[in-house]
Chain A
Amino acid sequence: MNNYHFGRGRARLAPYLLLLPGFFFYLVIMLGPSIATGVYSFTDASGIQGTTLHWIGLENYREFLFLGQASIDNYGALFRTLVFSFFVTTIQFSLGLGLALLVNQRLKGINVFRTIFFMPVILGAVIQGLIWSLFLYPLGGPLASILGMFGMRSEFLGGQPNEAIAWVIFVQIWANLGVTMMIFIAGLQTIPEDLYEGAQIDGASRWQVFRNITWPMLTPSVNTNLLLNIIGSLQAWQLFLVLIGYRNGTQVLGYLIFAQGFGQASGSVTSAFRQGYAAAASIVLFCLVLGIGLPVQYFLQRREKRVLG
């Protein structure tokens, strides 16, 4: 603190005063509300102006977890969130690694491929979703026509809930694979070349090179990607909104929170402005993120210490 060079006394306050606006916004718009979610989860907040709040204790949690058909549906949403996250994480992770290895070779035109694979990342859920809604248009859309040639047909996003979710998983991976790939590429480029040269002299096979050099040396990017993919996919739901809307049997937790809290549910399921209830659902999701994220983080860090010393 003694290393401050820009004066003493009142001048010492300058960094504090100038930091204030930025930190204030963070506090008021994100950090504060985030923590207050816990408080709201114990109330019957409605989101309608002029109504008073009541403290109702654990009622929202009781209803969310134990009350009738709705709670059974909630467990369904919870389960789907886990399934969605599992498939998105594992597939995106492995494909991202494979693609990174492919485009990290010195081949002609390789930069074009990198650009193409990263492109969807910037388009955002609306464009990503609409592009695939068109491609998967069941009434004679491109994929329907191709399937038709083999005498098959499918409703795609309008089909059975499990099929619709599978397509959302596909689009989610398509959209975000570029980030995973780029993080792996950055990791690959930090591996010193002489390691590979040594292996070459020893006559190691490509698999041995990957197993004993590339994979352990990639540990930091492996950790980053796993953690980002897990947390990101547990919280993701925007593509559900654009691709299939709020439909029974397809909801994930993030979408449920939004629909309960803001009553914007379209389609067959209606819901009102139940913000206290939605806050409780947010806390359930938060517990899921922590419950999976922290152990994974712990495990990854222990492994990193073991592998990289």
Chain B
Amino acid sequence: MSTLSTTESAGQRTQNLARPGRIKWGRIGAYILLVLFAIVYVGPLLMLVNTSLKTLPDFMKSATSLPTSLNFQNFADAWSKANFPLYMTNTLIYTVSATVIYLITAVFVAFPISRGYVKGSGLLLTLYVIALFLPVALIPQFQLMLSLGLYNNPVGYIMLFLVNPIGIVILVNYIKTLPMDLDEAAAMDGCGYFRFVTSIVFPLIQPALATVAVLHAIGIWNELILPTIYLTNKDYYPITRGMIVFQGVYGSNWPTLAAAVLIMTLPMLVIFLVLQRYIVSGLTAGAVKG
């Protein structure tokens, strides 16, 4: 691996020095490695597509061969049997409402911490940073929700997602880049605190908001443990829980199961390709403050 470990600039140099017409073995080697890795990443997905287009008998005969004819029945089956319309709607409701409420409350936490407008800002920020190390909160959290009567309750379930410490840290860091003069000038013009945050800070931190929103929403969308613990009523299931239950029932009917997994994967892939910039920064920005 070390022979390929050139960085952009070093690699560029060597190429410039290379005589024209010389075969660039380094480049070819790099591509070979990349393609091998890409196969491990894309292969399983392609196999999923392949399986979803087959009938069950075809799959039993040979799992890897290409389908003889395109069979979309699996998708229709999965759509209705896995209860997609209901579970997708549930997931959507949970994700959107929790993300919106979280974002609004988060800015009102991050802004004064970042500016030092509340006493003990440093300590507050520390409380958010150490979250990574804290013990699992599952048990007392469950006891609390149970005693509040919020067990098996969609509102209670949404409440669990009104927290995201990394999001606060990202917002605090971003707000630090806004000049202090802004606050002063606005206050001079008679702008109040609430109005300043809502009409000036919010629009100015849009990139950070998008990053945090995407990070938070993906987490809720993919959450499996909390619905397993808190939601026993099938009508409240999000899609993740629905999928696991569906797998339990249709575990050996891979064509239908593969179709269901694909239906669940596609929206995520589309969102990923559209919002890639924010997603990458969101999922790696958690790392900014280790």
Q: Give me the interface of A with B, judged by CB distance under 8 Å.
A: 1, 3-7, 11, 14-16, 18-19, 21-23, 25-26, 28-40, 45, 47, 49, 98-99, 101-107, 113, 115-127, 130-135, 137, 140-142, 144-146, 174, 179, 182-183, 186, 188, 191, 193, 196-197, 199-200, 206-207, 209-210, 214, 223-225, 227-228, 231, 235, 238, 241-242, 254, 257-258, 261-262, 264, 275, 278-279, 282-283, 285-286, 289-290, 293, 297
Compute how far the CA of A33 lies from the CA of B89 in the bound complex, rounded to whole angstroms.
30
Compute how far the CA of A209 lies from the CA of B2 in the bound complex, rounded to whole angstroms.
10
Interface pair B2/A6, CB less than 8 Å apart:
no
Interface pair A105/B8, CB less than 8 Å apart:
yes
In the assembled complex, the CB of A174 is this many whole angstroms from the nearest CB of chain B, namely: 7
Known: A123-B222, A125-B224. A188 touches B142 (CB 8 A): no
Interface pair A33/B137, CB less than 8 Å apart:
yes
| Additional A-B contacts beyond A30-B163, A113-B37 (8; CB < 8 A) | A15-B111, A31-B127, A127-B243, A134-B261, A179-B287, A207-B5, A290-B133, A293-B133
Known: A28-B144, A254-B136. A18 touches B197 (CB 8 A): yes
Interface pair A120/B41, CB less than 8 Å apart:
yes
In the assembled complex, the CB of B79 is this many whole angstroms from the nearest CB of chain A, namely: 16
Q: List the A side residues contacting B113 at CB < 8 Å.
A: 19
Give the residues from 265 to 290 in chain B that come closer than 8 angstroms, CB to CB, to chain A: 265, 268-269, 271-273, 276, 279-280, 283-284, 286-288, 290
Interface pair A6/B187, CB less than 8 Å apart:
yes
Interface pair A126/B34, CB less than 8 Å apart:
no
Interface pair B128/A15, CB less than 8 Å apart:
no
Q: List the A side residues contacting B5 at CB < 8 Å.
A: 98, 101, 206-207, 210, 214
Known: A22-B105, A29-B160, A31-B134. A196 touches B9 (CB 8 A): yes
Interface pair B283/A179, CB less than 8 Å apart:
yes
Q: List the A side residues contacting B162 at CB < 8 Å.
A: 22, 25, 29
Compute how far the CA of A179 lies from the CA of B282 in the bound complex, rounded to whole angstroms.
10
Interface pair A107/B31, CB less than 8 Å apart:
yes
Choice from B37, B44, B60, B105 contacting A117 with Cβ under 8 Å: B37
Compute how far the CA of A37 lies from the CA of B138 in the bound complex, rounded to whole angstroms.
8
Which residue, A118, A119, A186, A257, has most C-beta atoms of chain B within 10 A?
A119
Interface pair B143/A40, CB less than 8 Å apart:
yes
Interface pair B63/A257, CB less than 8 Å apart:
no
Known: A11-B192, A224-B290, A275-B142. A116 touches B38 (CB 8 A): yes
Q: List the B side residues contacting A15 at CB < 8 Å.
A: 108, 111-112, 117-118, 193
Q: List the B side residues contacting A207 at CB < 8 Å.
A: 2-3, 5
Q: Give me the interface of B with A, judged by CB distance under 8 Å.
A: 1-13, 27, 30-31, 33-34, 37-38, 40-45, 47-48, 51, 60, 62-64, 105-106, 108-109, 111-113, 115-119, 124, 127-128, 131-144, 146, 151, 159-160, 162-163, 165, 168, 180, 183-184, 186-188, 191-194, 196-197, 218, 221-225, 228-229, 240, 243-244, 247, 254, 257-258, 261, 264-265, 268-269, 271-273, 276, 279-280, 283-284, 286-288, 290
In the assembled complex, the CB of A210 is this many whole angstroms from the nearest CB of chain B, namely: 5
Find the B residue at minimum CB distance from A194. B9
Which residue, B12, B139, B261, B271, has most C-beta atoms of chain A within 10 A?
B139
| Subset of 15 A-B contacts with CB under 8 Å | A1-B116, A5-B183, A15-B112, A15-B193, A29-B159, A37-B139, A47-B139, A102-B34, A103-B34, A117-B38, A127-B261, A145-B63, A188-B7, A206-B3, A210-B5
Compute how far the CA of A241 lies from the CA of B31 in the bound complex, rounded to whole angstroms.
36
Interface pair A206/B106, CB less than 8 Å apart:
no
Interface pair B51/A25, CB less than 8 Å apart:
no
Q: List the B side residues contacting A282 at CB < 8 Å.
A: 135-136, 138-139
Choice from A5, A7, A23 contacting B184 with Cβ under 8 Å: A5
In the assembled complex, the CB of A43 is this many whole angstroms from the nearest CB of chain B, namely: 10
Interface pair B135/A242, CB less than 8 Å apart:
no
Interface pair A119/B41, CB less than 8 Å apart:
yes
Find the A residue at minimum CB distance from B248. A266
Find the B residue at minimum CB distance from A132. B44
Known: A38-B135, A118-B280, A126-B244. A137 touches B63 (CB 8 A): yes
Interface pair B13/A40, CB less than 8 Å apart:
no
In the assembled complex, the CB of A58 is this many whole angstroms from the nearest CB of chain B, namely: 17
